[in-house]
Every structure is written in C-alpha cells, then in structure tokens.
Structure 1
Amino acid sequence: MPDPDGQEVAVGEIATPVRPTADGRGVLRAALRSRRAALAGSSVLACLHQTGEALVPVLIGVVVDRAVDGGSPAELAGWLAVLAADFVLLSGSFRWGSRLGQRTAELVAHDLRGALVRKVLDPGGGARNGLLSGEVSSIAVQDARRVGALHMMLPLAVAAVAAIAVSAVALLWSSVVLGALVLLGTPPLLWATRRMARPLEAGSAAEQQDAALASAVATDLVRGLRVLRGIGAEDAAVARYAVASRRSLGAAVRAGRAGALLDGGVQAATGLFIALVAGVGGWLALSGSVSIGGLIAAVGLAQFLLGPLTMVAFVNAGIAQARASAERIAAVLARPAEVDTPEGDGPLPDAHRGRRLELRAVATAHLPALDLAVGPGEIVGLVAEPSAAQDLVAVLGRELDPRHGELRLDGVPAGRLPVTDFRREVLVERHDGVLFRGPVRENVAAGRARPTAPAMAAAAADEVVDALPDGADSDVGERGQALSGGQRQRVALARALAADAPVLVLHEPTTAVDSVTEARIAGGVRGLRADRTTLLVTSSPTLLAATDRVVLVLADGTTAHGRHAELLERHAAYRAVVSR
C-alpha cells in the first residue's frame, strides 16, 4: 500500500491497533507509542535543524572577530566553510525532519481512523450509541488529525528546548551574565505560556463538540431534504440547524479569542525577555566585557530565541487541542457493545437449503415472550406492534440481546455462534435499507459474482431500471437519494434476495410501493425463496396472503396462529391491524 510519500508500506505498519481506553491520555499514549521510532527520528532531525539555526549568529560573530582581529585568510575561509556546512546541515535536517514528522502524523491519524472504523463496524455495535453520524465522521476526520499532529508538534517542542539550551551555552561562552540570564529566565517563561494555554484547551473541547453537532445536524438535514419538503418542515429544520450553527460559531469565537490572547501574551512576554537579553548584551559590549563578534552573536541569539519560545507556545496550543480530541476519540472507543460477541464454536455446516430459525420465549422491552419456529422452505408472516416488531428485527439481526429467552439456528444457540457467522446465515433487511453511491447494478450485486436478474425481477426492481436514464448503470446517489422511496425499497429488496441467505428476515419491505407492484413482489419473493427460510415482519395483507402461515403477537403477550384468510375471518384484532 502506498504511503503519503508514494512509497510502499506494509498494511500492518499502517493499521497499528489502538486499543479502547477510558480516557484521552490513554489514546495519546497509545498514539505516541505506535510510532515512537519515527517520533524519535523526527525529533533528532528537528534538534539538528534548531541547533544549526542557533549556531548561525555564533559563527557569524566568530567570522567578524577573525576579520576585525586581522586573522589569516585561510583561517577566515575555514570559518566561512564551517558556516556554509552549518547551512547545509540545518536545511537538510529541516527537509527530512519535516517530511518524517508529516508522514508520521498522517499515519497516526490513519491508525486512529482505522480504530474508530473498527469500533463502528464491530459486530457488537455501540459506537454510535447516542451520537449522530455526522459527529462520528467529525471525530474520525478532525479529531484524529489533531491527535496525529502531535507527531509534528512534539519534535518541535524538543527542538525548541534544544535550541534554547544551545543558545544558553553559546551565550555562556560569550558572557556568563548573558548565559545565566537565559538559563534562569527561560523556565518561568515556559511555565507562563503553559498557564496561558489552559483557557484554549477548555475552549477547544467546546468548539470541537459544537462543530461536530452542527455538522451532524447539517448531514441529517441534507439526507432528509426530500422528506422535509414533502411534509413542509424545511423552516423548522433550518431553524434547528441555525441554533446548532450559532452555538458552534460562539464556541469557535471563544476558542479563537483564547488563542489570540495566548499568542498576544506569548509575543509580549518573549519580546520583553529578548529585549532584556539584548539590552544587557549591549551594556556589556559598551563596558568592554564582550567583543564585537560576541555582541553580534548575543543580539542574533536573542532574536533567534523568539522562534523557539514562540514554538513552545504553538506546541502548547496544539497539545491542548489534541487532548480535547483524544477525549472525544476515547469516548467512542470505550463505548460498551450493545450485544454480546462471544468467539463461539465456529461456523455451522454448509446449508444446501434454509435453516431452522427458533425463538424460545424471547422477550425485550417491547416484545412479549415469543415462541416461534420457521423451518426450511417456509414463508412465515409475523404481525406485531411497531415497537415490538422493531425489537424483534434487532434481535434477529444480533443488534440487541433479548432480556429473556434464547435464539437458535438449526438447534444451536445464537450465543454459541460468532456474530459475523450468524449474520452470514441470517440476513435482516429493514424497510429503510441504505443504498450506497454507485450504479444500481453494483448495489444489487454487493460485490458478489452470482446472477442478479432473478432477484431484480422478484423485487420488481427491473421496472426501476427500465425507468432510469442509464438503466442498471444509473447512479443511485448518496444513500440512494437519487431514487424515490419506492424505487429505493425495491433495489434494497433485490439486493437482499440476491444474497440468497439461508434465512431472510424482511421488515416491511413494501411500505413505499403501490398495491399492484406489491402483489408482484409478494409472488416474486415466494417463488424465489421456495427452498429457503423466510420471515416477513409486516402488516401488509398482500404480503401476508402469500405466506404459509401468520403469527399475530399482541401487546399483552397472547399470540394467534393461522393462515392469513383464516385469521381475517375469525380474529378481530388481526383484522384491525392489517386493515389500517
């Protein structure tokens, strides 16, 4: 895999695991440890660069002294060669140190994004619990980048300290008074800049939180624009975004104010300090305690020190932002799973037909204890209250653990099967199935090499293709937004049917299609799933009429079983539900 420099890097090198942790400090430590060799290398190169910069005024002072004192041309040429070599050293170390630091920062950000993606894709779920998708995206992009930037900032901090140390030694060589002044004055100055960075750290956390929320609200607004227009709720949605945007703006202004105060305070403090050093150096030169070259070196070093001291303030601000970002990353990585994900006993034997799906007294917050068995070749309909149906679908998709009871597949408890293996056997397709940007053909095939035409026909998605300008090559848009609700449902259903899973659970797959199309879909699903196991969680009479039997689940926990026509005739509650 190519790295940011275009070179080849092993996948294992990039995807260094970042383990879940309870706090931001753990994230920072893990990020720094994952690339400690590169961090050390860039720090050494940064120190060489800053040392070379600090030596420039010293060497210039030596050259001036040799010229004033009437030194030999050879000696003068030698010192000029040393000065040239110093420029080569500082320019080369800057180039390679910056390149290594930037590369490492990008790789660490990549590592963190990988850890967040693994958390989002974890079979147990939980990463997005309480978060909007826009917030997760903001954390994966902005916060990961800020934590990764530490690998550029810490070498700068180390180099700044090295530059101050070299400058102090050089000043001590020129004058003990100047050297002592720098050595004694620098620590209080660094402490003051650290104290001034604390308001920025607090403001940065609030800014990132509110910016992520505004991004999330904007994302949801764009995704639901068609629905909002249909119900005339655009003004309310825009007002909601305006509130979030104003909060984000206020937090950004406060963080910017804190940053400006930090920059101004640091500039003022360092300016006063450098003026003090230069003033003492001038007084020493007038008194004859320092040579002309020494004075040039002292003034040059005093001016040079502005860079390292300002760099320390810059690094403090970056560390403050990285800490806030690390806390947000840690909060996502440490979120508990929504379902248990045991290693299990391994995959089931291959299924040539469907598998037997059983629920034994399965109960959730909204679903009363349910006993249900669906065998291979059966198409069973299930009618329940919307909240109970949602819970049942979540349990069957292993997105929610039941409070009581047990889910079994071919007699094997679901808890003994790896979640990923279970989901390969039991495919759950919700009524609001998400499509991915790209052609209809690729969405239905979903990376599989099996034929899709039968599934397209069974889901009446062939009519969708016929109505699109480029047929099956038409782009469905982001999350399928280029299609109508009914078209999107049919393409998603075709994708589910094309997967040919041993067990298929369909949750209200025809809520957005007309009655004629729904009747065609009912016949198509029955024909295509003849030797598989299919559970239709729906209240559609057209789909229920195509099932082998129906199970009615009432809120009080009672159930009724029978064919659709029989239940219509003898069960008033069933008639009330399916006729709504």
Structure 2
Amino acid sequence: MQISDLPYPDPGVPDARSGPRFLVWLGRGQLGGQAKSLCWGMLHFSGIAGLPYAVGTGIDAAVDRDATRLLLVGGLVVLLGAAISLGDAMLHRTAVTNWITAAARVQQLLARKTAELGSALTRRVAAGEVVAVSTGDVEKIGWFVEAVSRFLAAAVTVVLVCVGLLFYAPELGVVVAIGVPLVALAALPLLPRATRRADFQREKAGKATELASDTVAGLRVLRGIGGEELFLGRYREASQEVREAAVRSARMWALISAIQVLLPGALLITVVWYGAALVLDGRIAVGQLVAVFSAVATLLYPLRHFEEIAMAYSFSRPSAQRAARVLSLTRTDAAAERPAAAGVPVPASVPAPGGDLYDPATGLLVAAGRFTAVVCGDPDLAGRLAERLGGHPMDAEAGGPAEPSVLLGGVALDELALDTARTLVLVQDKEPVLLSGTLRDLFDVPASGAVEPDAALGAAQCGDVLDALLQAAPDGVDDPMDARITERGRSLSGGQRQRLALARSLVTDPEVLVLDEPTSAVDSHTEARIADGVAALRAGRTTVVLASSPLLLDRADRVVLIHEGAVAAIGTHRELLHGEPLYRAVVTRETEEEQRAARPEPTELDEVLTEIEESA
C-alpha cells in the first residue's frame, strides 16, 4: 500500500476484541510494507555493523604495510557507506509509509463507525474519548506499527554482530554476547511501572480533553450565565493534573534512558579493559581490539530501538484499547435481548412502503402517511424517543434497561442494513449541524429526487436566509446556491441554521421524517408558515414532529401525549387542549394553581350533585 493509494477502498473488518489483538490485526494488514521496511533496515544496520570490521582490517593492513589489502578495505568502506545511506533513506521512506497507512486505516475505521452509530456513539462513549482516539491515539498506533520493522531489523543485526564476534575474536566475543542481551533487557523490569504511569497520564489527558470539548460546545451558554471563569478554573486544575502525571511518566522514561546509556558505557569499558589485557598477552591483534570496540560502539544505535519499541508499545497499547472499544460498538449490541424482553418478533424482511411506525417502549403508533405530533413533558425523554425512532434504542451498556427496537411496517429498524434504515427513516436532531461549503453542497445529500431544493427552502421559509448569504458572498456570486456557509453555520443565527437544516431534511424525502423541535429558534409568525409548508410538502408521507408549540400541534393530523414513558392521550390539538389537563399544562405551561384558578366556582347545585354521586 502506497500513500498515493489512500484512502483504502475498504479498510477491512478489525479485530476489536482487545488492544493487542487490534495492533496485531493492523500489522497483518501491512505485511508487505513491514517486509520492505525490514529489508531496508537490515541493509542499513548491516552497513553500520560492517564498518568496525573494515576499520579493524584496515588497521591490520596498515600495521602489516599491505597496500593491496588496504585498497580493498577502502573499497569496502565506500560500499558500506553507500549501503548505509541507501538503507537509511529507504528505511525512513518505508517506515513513514507504514505509519501513515496504519493511521489512515484507523481513521477510516473510526469514521465509518462514527457514521454507522451516529448520535448513539457519544451516548456510549464520552465525547472527549472519541476526540482523543481520532487524534492523538491514531498517531501513537501508527508509531508502534512502523517501529516494529525497525526493531526487528535492529534485533537481527545485534544477533548477527554478536555471533560474528564469537568467530572473529572469541575471547572478546563471549563478553559481548553476554553483555549485549543484559543491556537490551535491563530496562524490562521497569516497563510495567512506566506503562501504568503512561496509562494514568492518558486517562487524565482524556478527561481534560473531554472537559475542554464540552466547554467549547457550551461556550455561548457559559457566557450567558457568566460561568467562563468557573470552567476555566476546572480546566486549569485538570491540565495541572495532566502535567503532574506527564512529569511522573517522564521521570520513569528518563530512568530507562539513563540505564540504556549507563550499561552500554560499562560494557565498552569492560571490552577495552579486557581487550587491552588480551593484546598485551598477544592473544589478539590490535586491529581485532579496535574492531570489537567499534562493533560494540556501533551496537548502541540499534540498541536504542529496543527502548523505542518498549515506549511505542506502552504508549500505543492504551490507545489501541480505546480504539478497539469504539470499533467494537454496533447498532445491535443488545438486539438478541431486546426482542425477547419485549416479546416482539424481529422479521428479517425489509418493510414495505407505507407501513406504520410503532414504538413498543412507549406504545406510540404513527400512522403511515399522516402528520403526527408528539408531546413530551420531559425534553430528555423526547430526545431519547427521537433516537429510538431512528433505529438507535438504548441498550444496557448505555446505563439503562434494554429497550425494544422500533418497528416500521412490522420490521425492527435496528435489524436492517444501515443504508436501508437511513433511506426509510431520517431523524433531525434538536441542534442539527451545518458543514462548511456552498449551499449547493449542503443539499447534495442522498435523496429520492421528488423534492427540489427550491421547494424545500420555500417550505422551511428560508427566503431571508438566502438574502443574507447572498449579501455576505464575494463579488461575482449571483446565485445564493453558490454562497458559502461558514464552519457550523456560525455566521447565521440560530433560527437561520435551524431552517436550513430543516430544508435539507425535506430534500431527502424519506419514508418517515422525524423532527425534534424543528422550530424552537424561530418566531411565531415564521413558525406558523413553516408548519403549513411542511404539512403541504409532506402530504401523504409519514412525518413525526416532537414539539410543544401550539402552532405546530394545531397543524398535525393527530397529537400523541407521552407521559412518564408511555402514551397518555391521543387526539387532535384542540380536543386534547380542552379535555386533557395534563396536555394543557405541558402545552400552555400552566401550573396547577393557575388551572384551579381558571376553573369556575362550584354552585350549590354542583355541590348537591357531587354529594349524590359520592353516596351512590
């Protein structure tokens, strides 16, 4: 896989059972790249390891005054230098390719999982953890994947040098063969503690990231209540905890690095002291001592990769664990338990067009082709109901009881393929997001083609929005569809963003459209026109609006009141307003005292009739 070939046509199905298994799966997917990196690493390290032999042979040739052998040694040095340069350049190239391709694969997997789960992702995993996995964790995972081949090349080189020294100078070769493994493995007992400190640092950093993302998301609200300093203080405390954890982790890694410097130095001193004694005894030549000394000195470079692979694994293992946790989530995590618990069979077929939408958890039945409004006194319940109607029921992992899947035409939504479910049902969140780009790009979404953007913009009352975008557009832009929308639509007001998002949802023209408070940020006159426009444009299509605005409720064919998680009343807006006190309290915001004050005082006849009823 080359960088120019990215992104992957299909990143594959990851082994997300654990962090180490996920790393192994990534490595298996790059065996070709790892093999190339290993070969070039072997060429690079072998060239470095061969230099001491060439230097020692050259010294012996100079002592013996052998010009021919000295010329051959010079040619060997040139050849080794070329091997070192070529191997280093290509090793870096292939290693970086492995890093980038591994990181790209993980990012594609995370993006695919995010698109699959939608809003259910942040309900199961903290938003800060998702941000950490998508940014810093991806780099650490890529670092470990690319470091594996360099470590293997370094390890093979160290083994070959030790074996070679046993044949070249057996007396000193034994010392090197015993000392080098001790140097390489000396820091091994410290790795568990270093790993724990690194994990603790990651945990603190993840919490700080989550706090920062939540603060930024709610910055406007914080400014409104004057809470900037409060949250700034909380983030300052969290960042200081991250700093302290990072310092403790760095101290342990500094100790490991010091050991990697101290022990090789002690090995060099031992080789020089013992080798000098052997030279004085005449048991080895001076060139052999120089060659062995140079070999041990050059081994310090490949030995550094032992420390690096330990650090890379320690840092990437928790990152891979977090990535595996996100990638292991599915839309049907509790599908096996939900139907059994609800006693609802799960057909395997695709629902036929025009089926009713039924929610077993609340008893809500949305008739096909009708405009149904749902009133919930609890906003959180309304949000969960909207997610459930979109095929994302809450499961036990989210902290609540297992919920049955919503049925469309008798078929469970969370048992359908993702693209099929999204073609059938579209849910517009209470706070929809607008991506940057032109207005034409905004409406370039999967749609049936039956609703044109102009009709959707008209139904959503976006005339003033088009004028505002055209006024802010640079010279030469005459069509509002070519005007650009800034990131998240920040240049627009809340009501303008809400209406554009509504128009985008209308363009898709799904079988079932679920709107969660689609007009909460617009004035009453605009809201009334939007209600008429949506009702006219969606005539004959199933539309569900979760709202408490009388203007929307009055346009609905049927209104359903949800109280304490179950259907409490069904009727038209006017029928419920006059005959259901609970509905009237939710819609008109009347308190019990106000309701009692609005009731007429009982007459004497009323009191007599009440006494007769009680006695009967």
Q: TM-score, normalised by structure 2?
A: 0.84
Shift of 1:338: 5.8
- What are the equivalent positions in structure 2 for 1:177-576 lying under 5 Å apart? 177-335=171-329, 337=331, 345=348, 347-348=350-351, 351=353, 355-359=354-358, 362-363=360-361, 369-376=362-369, 378-386=370-378, 387-400=380-393, 407-414=406-413, 417-446=416-445, 451-468=452-469, 469-470=472-473, 471-555=480-564, 557=566, 559-576=568-585
- Return closer, same or farther for 1:340/1:320 CA change in 2, 3 Å cut-off: closer
How far apart are 1:332 and its partner, in Å?
2.2
Deviation at 1:280, TM superposition (A): 1.7
Which structure 1 residue ranges, 5 or more long, are not aligned? 364-368
- The one of 51, 58, 83 equivalent to 2:46 is 51
Gaps of 5+ in 2: 337-345, 396-401, 474-479, 590-616
Letter in 1 for 2:8: V
Matched to 1:324, the amino acid is P
Q: Distance in 2 between matches of 1:417 and 1:330?
A: 24
Asked whether the 8 Å contact 1:545–1:564 carries over to 2, the reply is yes
**Could you say which residue in structure 1 is the equivalent of 2:339?**
none
Residue 543 of structure 1, CA deviation? 0.6
Match of 2:86 in 1: 92
- Inter-partner Cα distance in structure 2 for 1:388 and 1:159: 58
Identify the match of residue 131 of structure 2 among 131, 137, 144: 137
Change in 2 beyond 3 A, CA 1:30/1:545 = same
Which AA in structure 2 matches 1:30?
W
Aligned mates of 1:9, 1:556 — CA distance in 2: 47
CA deviation after TM superposition for structure 1 residue 348, in Å: 4.7
Is the 1:346–1:418 contact (alpha carbons within 8 Å) kept by the matching residues of 2?
no
Q: Once the 2 structures are TM-superposed, how far is the Cα of residue 473 of structure 1 from its aligned partner?
A: 4.5
- The 5-angstrom pairing of residues 107-126 of structure 1 reads 107-123=101-117
Within 2, Cα distance between the matches of 1:125 and 1:521?
A: 26
Of the structure 1 ranges 398-407 and 254-263, higher mean CA displacement relative to structure 2 is found in 398-407
Structure 2: which amino acid aligns with 1:56?
A: L
Q: Deviations over 1:123-161 (max 9, x none)?
A: 598644443333212212322222222233222322332
State the shift of 1:544 in Å: 0.7
Distance 2:166 2:514 in 1: 80
Which residue of structure 1 lines up, in the alignment, with residue 58 of structure 2?
63
Letter in 1 for 2:468: A
Paired letter, 2:262: A
C-alpha distance in 2 between matches for 1:48 and 1:538: 69
The answer as to 2:11 corresponding to 1:15 is yes
The answer to whether the Cα contact below 8 Å between 1:274 and 1:306 also exists between their aligned partners in 2 is no
Correspondence for 1:176: 170
CA RMSD of aligned residues (A): 2.7
Shift of 1:55: 1.0
1:351-383: CA deviations, max 9, x gaps?
A: 5xxx232326x22xxxxx42423221x212221
Which runs of 4 or more aligned residues in structure 1 lie more than 6 Å from their structure 2 counterparts after TM superposition? 341-344
Residue number in structure 2 paired with 1:366: none
Partner of 1:372, secondary structure, is strand
> Does the CA contact (< 8 Å) of 2:456 and 2:503 recur in 1?
yes
Cα distance in 2 between the residues matched to 1:126 and 1:178: 64
Letter in 2 for 1:463: D
Distance in structure 1 (CA, Å) of the matches to 2:414 and 2:324: 28
AA aligned to 2:466 is V
Percent sequence identity over aligned pairs: 31
Residue 325 of structure 1: CA displacement? 1.9
Q: Are the aligned partners of 2:125 and 2:326 in contact in 1 as well (CA < 8 Å)? A: no
Shift of 1:345: 4.2
Q: Report how many aligned residue pairs link the two structures.
A: 563
Whether the 8 Å contact between 2:391 and 2:414 is mirrored in structure 1 is: no
Please list the CA deviations of residues 218-248 of structure 1 after superposition, one character each: whole Å capped at 9, or x if unmatched. 2232232222212222122222222221222
Separation (CA, whole Å) in 2 of partners of 1:271 and 1:174 = 22
User: Are the counterparts in 2 of residues 42 and 97 from structure 1 also a CA contact under 8 Å?
Assistant: yes
